[in-house]
Structure 1
Amino acid sequence: MERYKNDRQAISVVEKVVLGGVDQYILIQAVDITKPVLLLLHGGPSMPLPGVSAKGQDYTIVTNTSKLIEHFVVVFWDQRGTGKSYSRHIPKESMTVAQFIEDANQLTDLLLERFHYEKIFLAGHSWGTIIGLSLVSQNPHKYYSYTGFSQIVNWTKNDELSLSWMKQEAMQRGNSRALKQLNALGQAPLNQSFAQWATLRKWQRNFNTLIYTDEVIKHPGMWGIMKSLLRSETYSLRDIYNSFISGFQLVYSLSFVRELEQYRFEESVQSIDIPVMFVHGKYDYHVHGSLVEMFHKQLVAKEKKLIWAQNSGHSFHPEDTLDNEQYLIEQLSYVK
């Protein structure tokens, strides 16, 4: 990539990079390209928010960005097989957790070389936290700090909690059809068939575990999130289709689900030699906060912090995304 000749220069550009032998796309935004780099890892998989579509937009489902790009070189990445990084030529067998982690590691190295820093900042949301926590546990020397928004700790234990919560919700709603289907799933891990796993996700969607709203707390909702994609200056309708349809079909398989179950961070990650921050929605019934709280207590880190977003479920409320933006800016204190 071209080296910048100007020490101080704004940038807002979508670029193609090759990661793991596959063309993928990143969005780089900054008021000043000499600032430290922050790499954001979106959730999903195949839910590229915040991702390349964030160009020119402030609110994302994790953080606001207008102040963020004044303090960082912010890098948004559409991961392999989703959004602008979708291609029908990507082999399905390459869609593994290990390959996503390696792609992110290669992107980290690319950013370190391009912007001439010894370290970058890293933050992930939901599925992106599996990539993120794996990266910083394996290569802490590459990162100033790590922030896990809606951190996943143990996929199977989270499914256990989700199944229990949804059965209670089905009973409270008098939804006998949901209760019958949920009872028929048996116990986690839900890896006997892809249909078994998909049934749990169906009722998570139907019971709106991604977004919290009540009489006081009002969230823009999934339609508000979708509108951000529709009005994106970098996204086409095809990119949206490639996120939620083609990308979903590419990444999800029974083998992928079984691989996810192997990531049990409370067992595999005892310590991390960098500052770590977890930010979790108080009303997140999609990724259950009790597991994050347990992991935070046992984790040995250079510094550690757990913050509860008071208005949020799994996707963060606009009031909380403003706070999340500030939490990330405060991480700059770790630059020596």
Structure 2
Amino acid sequence: MKDKSMNRFSIKSFRRGIGRVMFIVLSILLVSTFIFAGVLLAWSPGKPIPFIDENGRPLVGSISEKIHVNINGVEQGMFIKGRDKAKPVLLFLHGGPGLPTYWLTSKYPTGLEDYFTVCYWETRGTGLSYNSEVPPKTVTWEQLISDTIEVSNYLRKRFGQEKIYLMGHSGGSFLGIQVAARAPELYNAYIGVAQMSRQFESEKLAYKYMIEQYTKARDIRMVQKLEKFPIPEMNAVPKAYRNLRDVAMHRLGIGTMHNMKSVITGVFFTSFQSREYTLSEKINLWRGKNSSQYQKMWDEMMETDLTKIVQKLNIPVYFFEGVHDYTCNYTLTKEYFEKLQAPVKGFYTFINSAHSPIFEEPEKVKQILEKDVLSGKNNLADIK
């Protein structure tokens, strides 16, 4: 009887001990969650950071705004930044499609604001412009072309400039070059950064390169993961592959930036560090990116051959291309540029960059902007 009592006591003691441990663990998790949420909120005041002079006061003549404007019946958000608002206006079209990238400028300043009044517009259904009530059927490439023209006209009128500059990055270049072809009278020049051309062909080349590189590195696990998606045989690129592709590309330095080896720490975590977005706006960055409509637009982008759609521009055109870029293949873009007709052309190779030369080699970008783009020349170009 004594042994049975002792056993029952031991079991009860063990259960109480487990209960105390679980309580402590849950308490730690709860406290950690509150601390993490508090840090995120502290890092998310959501106010645009002003340009300041040597005395710490707002720089006279500068502009730093975060505003919403009604564009074709939908309130859409944008940052407008410039050290001198009398400078020429530049409309920046972000990529994705569906993922604004203004937040990257806090960690990787471009210096664009030294030469332009820059409008970082966040397209309908994304970031600052995210709204679950916006009908998905209105989020189409044709609608974004119309929206871009409307935003351009808003900027022209507001800043009293007959023409502005247009820059498209990655998915934004798919949009931008079509806008430049359709409404050249609005723009001084078009700048394509990581310019798209034949994107499905680009995906196939990237797939082949990744298989070769991971095979060479004897990373059998990654090779096996990639081989589950025989991209050259597909007519579309499934979302499951896109997620794997992003991880695999960044590890090889052929993704967002050549020196950015992780899409999680380099992109996802960095997006939550910007102080100019509120926490809800940061969450909306990813809600918009993962919306079903932008997934559909991505598929449409894969099916489109820009070399057949836009063969001529009636304004100067400049391509900024990272030699390590396999997201939008460098070689395919160069081939597109050589066939593209324009009054002035300039192709610029960035040897230390992958997909984002404006963030990776900003000093070279500034030199090109100052000496070529703003003067309508192509003296520094690799190919003219």
TM class, shorter-length: 0.7 to 0.9
What is residue 43 of structure 2 aligned with on the other side? none
Map Cα deviations across residues 285-332 of structure 1 (whole Å, 9 max, x no partner). 221101111011111111111111111111338551222133233322
User: 1:109 and 1:317 mapped to 2: Cα distance?
Assistant: 25
What is residue 5 of structure 1 aligned with on the other side? none
Identify unmatched segments of 5+ residues in structure 2.
Answer: 1-59, 378-384
User: 2:137 and 2:217 mapped to 1: Cα distance?
Assistant: 40
Do 1:16 and 1:26's aligned partners in 2 also have CA atoms closer than 8 Å?
Answer: yes
Do 1:281 and 1:313's aligned partners in 2 also have CA atoms closer than 8 Å?
Answer: yes
Residue 232 of structure 1 is aligned with which of 274, 298, 301? 274
Alpha-carbon distance, 1:188 to partner: 4.5
User: 1:109 and 1:188 mapped to 2: Cα distance?
Assistant: 42
Do 2:77 and 2:121's aligned partners in 1 also have CA atoms closer than 8 Å?
Answer: yes
1:317–1:270: structure 2 CA closer, same or farther, 3 Å change rule? closer
Residue 15 of structure 1 is aligned with which of 47, 67, 81? 67
Residue 346 of structure 2 is aligned with which of 286, 301, 305? 305
Alignment of 1:158-173 (within 5 A): 158-173=202-217
- Secondary structure at the aligned position of 1:174 is classed as coil
What is residue 3 of structure 1 aligned with on the other side? none
Alpha-carbon distance, 1:187 to partner: 4.4
2:312 aligned with 1:288: no
1:290–1:75: structure 2 CA closer, same or farther, 3 Å change rule? same
Equivalent AA in structure 2 for residue 296 of structure 1: F
- Secondary structure at the aligned position of 1:259 is classed as helix
2:293 aligned with 1:271: no
- Secondary structure at the aligned position of 1:273 is classed as coil
Equivalent AA in structure 2 for residue 26 of structure 1: M
What is residue 203 of structure 1 aligned with on the other side? 245
2:181 aligned with 1:137: yes
2:138 aligned with 1:89: no
Stretch deviating more after TM superposition (116-125 or 255-264): 255-264
Residue 101 of structure 1 is aligned with which of 145, 156, 162? 145
Equivalent AA in structure 2 for residue 234 of structure 1: E
2:209 aligned with 1:157: no
User: 2:228 and 2:107 mapped to 1: Cα distance?
Assistant: 43
Do 1:310 and 1:320's aligned partners in 2 also have CA atoms closer than 8 Å?
Answer: no
**Between Structure 1 and Structure 2, which shows a larger proportion of strand residues?**
1
- Secondary structure at the aligned position of 1:145 is classed as strand
What is residue 76 of structure 2 aligned with on the other side? 24
Do 1:191 and 1:258's aligned partners in 2 also have CA atoms closer than 8 Å?
Answer: no
What is residue 111 of structure 1 aligned with on the other side? 155
Aligned positions, number: 313
What is residue 226 of structure 2 aligned with on the other side? 182
Report % sequence identity: 28
2:128 aligned with 1:76: no
Residue 108 of structure 2 is aligned with which of 59, 63, 66? 59
User: 2:278 and 2:302 mapped to 1: Cα distance?
Assistant: 34
Runs (4+) of structure 1 exceeding 4 A deviation are: 187-192, 218-222, 224-228, 251-254
Map Cα deviations across residues 62-94 of structure 1 (whole Å, 9 max, x no partner). xx12xx323321111122222211111122222
Alignment of 1:119-130 (within 5 A): 119-130=163-174
Scaled by the length of structure 2, the TM-score of the pair is 0.73
Residue 43 of structure 1 is aligned with which of 74, 87, 95? 95
- Secondary structure at the aligned position of 1:302 is classed as coil
User: 2:177 and 2:213 mapped to 1: Cα distance?
Assistant: 31
Alpha-carbon distance, 1:143 to partner: 0.6
- Secondary structure at the aligned position of 2:344 is classed as strand
User: 2:81 and 2:280 mapped to 1: Cα distance?
Assistant: 23
User: 1:323 and 1:58 mapped to 2: Cα distance?
Assistant: 18
User: 2:231 and 2:63 mapped to 1: Cα distance?
Assistant: 50
Scaled by the length of structure 1, the TM-score of the pair is 0.83
Larger Rg: 2
Higher relative contact order (CA 8 A, sep 6+): 1
- Secondary structure at the aligned position of 2:274 is classed as coil
Do 1:270 and 1:300's aligned partners in 2 also have CA atoms closer than 8 Å?
Answer: yes
**Between Structure 1 and Structure 2, which shows a larger proportion of helix residues?**
2
- Secondary structure at the aligned position of 2:352 is classed as coil
Map Cα deviations across residues 11-67 of structure 1 (whole Å, 9 max, x no partner). 21111012232211111122332221111111112321136x75xx4734xxx12xx
What is residue 256 of structure 1 aligned with on the other side? 297
1:79–1:283: structure 2 CA closer, same or farther, 3 Å change rule? same
What is residue 4 of structure 1 aligned with on the other side? none
